[in-house]
Structure 1
Amino acid sequence: MQKNFLVISALGEDRPGIVNELAKLIAETGCSIEDSRMTVLGGDFAIILLVEGRWNELAKLEAGFPSAARRLNLAIHAKRTTPLQRESNLLPYTVEVVSIDHPGIVHQLANFFSSREINIRDLTTTSYSATHTGTPMFQVQMTIDISAAIHIARLREEFMDLCDQLNLDAIIEPAKA
């Protein structure tokens, strides 16, 4: 049986109970959360969910969004999607970068991988102050999919050269299962 999926994004002022209310709405329609990302960004709470259910359950869930958005004071957007089709020749790698914060870090990293036709599957960034000095720091963690046809040692060398030029501390290694 074909699975049906809905990607939901929600954004609103952070407060206790948002996750509970959305999870309750999803459960009451017979759907289930397959994957999720939730975080506080500034004073807002951002949610991205992949929900699975029968087509009629997803339709019922979608129909409940306008009232849920008003009740929870959230901006909710939903889009039907298809199951992820992973290519068998792709190898997942983890990239971690830490640096003194400056504009353009994400763009430079994304450009490096994009120019080599390497897909960024997951990306998280964090800004923080260094413990003893208070220096503004920036951290990037990403998962990329590298084709088995790419020469990994050469890619790693080119990536580390870029990081040296940009004064970034970096690691690129196979993703742990």
Structure 2
Amino acid sequence: MSATPPPREQFLVISALGANPMELTNVLYRSCLESRCAVVSSRLSRHGEFSALILQVSGNWDGLARLETGLPALAKRHGFTIGVTRSAALDSRPQALPYVVYVSAAYRPDILNELCQFFSDHHIDVENLVCDTYQAPQTGSTMLTATITVTLPAGTQISWLRDQFLDFADALNLDALIEPWRPQNP
């Protein structure tokens, strides 16, 4: 007697860019619902006069195909730009360790590139990166603040990595901290 394998979960990753964040979210969430798809994760952020919305949507092949087919016309009708990519679920990494990196520094265009290169050189995955610039009220100089969630591979010597990262940050004159990720309390 052979058992049938469970159906593989299928995903779409949708990126949308539009001027009105409420219209963007309402239209895309409603379209997912009407196509019998579930929003697994979403991120909305404002960048200047535009908003960016990223959705990971799951569903059966029929629902995802219906959603995928209808999105270009929906984007045209509501005046936003859209990109759609098929995706698989992220592989489980039970031994990986999530860490958060906090960086604050006087703004320089090379800082984010240098940070990402450091993690790439050490085979560390970047899971989430949030960066903002602002004018320091006391001096008027442009400052950069970044929060980066990374995943350390199993077997990473944490004290060695922390020392390497702090030496790297000192060399670039960055105020930086790396610490274990902790869930946010409500």
Give the TM-score taking structure 1 as reference length.
Answer: 0.95
Partners of 2:20 and 2:169 in 1: CA distance: 35
Conserved? CA contact 2:20–2:51, under 8 Å = yes
Partners of 1:21 and 1:96 in 2: CA distance: 34
What is the identity percentage for the equivalent residue pairs of Structure 1 and Structure 2? 37
Q: Is the counterpart of residue 157 in structure 1 residue 170 in structure 2? A: no
- Look up the match of 2:76: 70
Conserved? CA contact 2:103–2:145, under 8 Å = yes
Match of 1:109 among 92, 115, 138: 115
Conserved? CA contact 2:24–2:53, under 8 Å = no
- Look up the match of 2:128: 122
Deviation at 1:46, TM superposition (A): 0.9
Partners of 1:44 and 1:153 in 2: CA distance: 41
- Look up the match of 1:13: 19
- Look up the match of 1:98: 104
Deviation at 1:15, TM superposition (A): 5.2
Q: Is the counterpart of residue 46 in structure 1 residue 49 in structure 2? A: no
Conserved? CA contact 2:11–2:89, under 8 Å = yes
After TM superposition, the runs of 4+ consecutive aligned structure 1 residues lying more than 6 A away are none
Gapped regions of structure 1 (runs ≥ 5): none
Give the TM-score taking structure 2 as reference length.
Answer: 0.90
- Look up the match of 2:3: none
Match of 1:133 among 139, 145, 153: 139
Partners of 1:71 and 1:51 in 2: CA distance: 21
Q: Is the counterpart of residue 147 in structure 1 residue 153 in structure 2? A: yes
Partners of 1:135 and 1:14 in 2: CA distance: 31
Partners of 2:99 and 2:10 in 1: CA distance: 28
Q: Is the counterpart of residue 29 in structure 1 residue 35 in structure 2? A: yes
Partners of 1:147 and 1:15 in 2: CA distance: 36
Letter in 1 for 2:177: I
Conserved? CA contact 1:5–1:50, under 8 Å = yes
Q: Is the counterpart of residue 79 in structure 1 residue 82 in structure 2? A: no
Partners of 2:22 and 2:152 in 1: CA distance: 39
Q: Is the counterpart of residue 57 in structure 1 residue 63 in structure 2? A: yes
Gapped regions of structure 2 (runs ≥ 5): 1-6
The DSSP-based 3-state class of the residue aligned with 2:90 is: coil
How many residue pairs end up in the alignment?
177
**Once superposed, what is the RMSD of the aligned Cα atoms?**
1.3
Letter in 2 for 1:37: R
Q: Which deviations, in whole Å up to 9, do the C-alpha atoms of 1:64-109 show, x marking residues without a partner?
A: 1121011111111111111111222211100110111111001111
